Amino acid sequence: MKKPHLHCISEGQGPVVVLSHALGCDLTMWDGVTAILKNRYTVLRYDHRGHGQSEALPGPYTLDLLAGDVAGIINGQGEGPVHFVGLSMGGMTAQALAARYPQLLKSIVIANSAMFYDDAARAMWQARVRTVQAQGVAAISEGAMQRWFTPEFRADEADGGARKVAALRRVLESTDAAAYAASCEAVSRIDFRTSNGAVQCPALVIAGARDEATPVAMSEAICASIKGAQLRTLPAAHLSAVEQPDSFADLLERFFESLR
């Protein structure tokens, strides 16, 4: 099977931390967190297939496929096991990676994510796929902004929240529609309920107290499914790493330090 060309950026020095972004975003989602972590870590960010500057191959996509993509990146950097941090679809990638490629991981962080969707949720995903196929990604962008960010962050002109929201909206709307739909299909079919029980590496789960896309209960379920996992909560909506980069990075650094 053909592997896509994946766009990556590596910054900083020290232990390697790989950052995996949400559906419809790109590696710029991690700008705020990277600015903090790169002082002490080598931060490796990448765009998922069909997102940002990575190649958009035809579907279907699966989370195992996305995990295989980033496994190739991790093997290519040659530094041994990494800390892997994923948010939303990136958090699903973390769970798939831990199941299939445990030797590549020192730890995983699963933020604002899910491990399984029931039939009702899958029907919602299918409705979104149909909308994107018929009308393009722009048709779902306003709803995405409402899920991704709190109202006050979207309205924040003084401290740059509104500017970050506008930038990520442009990223979403420029995402290849077929790749976005294929990614939605992949996300809708996740089921890590069994495989999470076999995860051996340390795990941190981060929830957003105001996350309506993946509510705290979903993070609690992930935490309960992975032996020894820790749960932390931030006062943010779905893209907690964008809305609360300082607090998010602090949680990561404390977690990584605890493993030394």
Report the largest interatomic distance among the alpha carbons of the chain, rounded to a whole angstrom.
Answer: 50
Q: How far apart are CA 133 and CA 158, in angstroms?
A: 37
How would you class 15 by CB atoms within 10 Å of its CB: exposed for 0-12, middle for 13-18, buried for 19 or more?
middle
Question: What element of type H or E holds 152?
Answer: helix 151-154
CA distance 235 to 239: 11
Average pLDDT over residues 171-185: 98
Dump pLDDT digits (tens) for 130-158: 999 999 999 999 999 999 999 999 999 99
d(C-alpha 228, C-alpha 158), whole Å: 41
> CA torsion, points 22, 17, 230, 144, in degrees to nearest 10?
-10
pTM summary value: 0.98
Provide mean pLDDT across the span 60-67.
97
Give per-residue pLDDT as tens, 200-249. 999 999 999 999 999 999 999 999 999 999 999 999 999 999 999 999 99
Going along the chain from its start, the domains and CATH numbers come out as: 8-258 (3.40.50.1820)
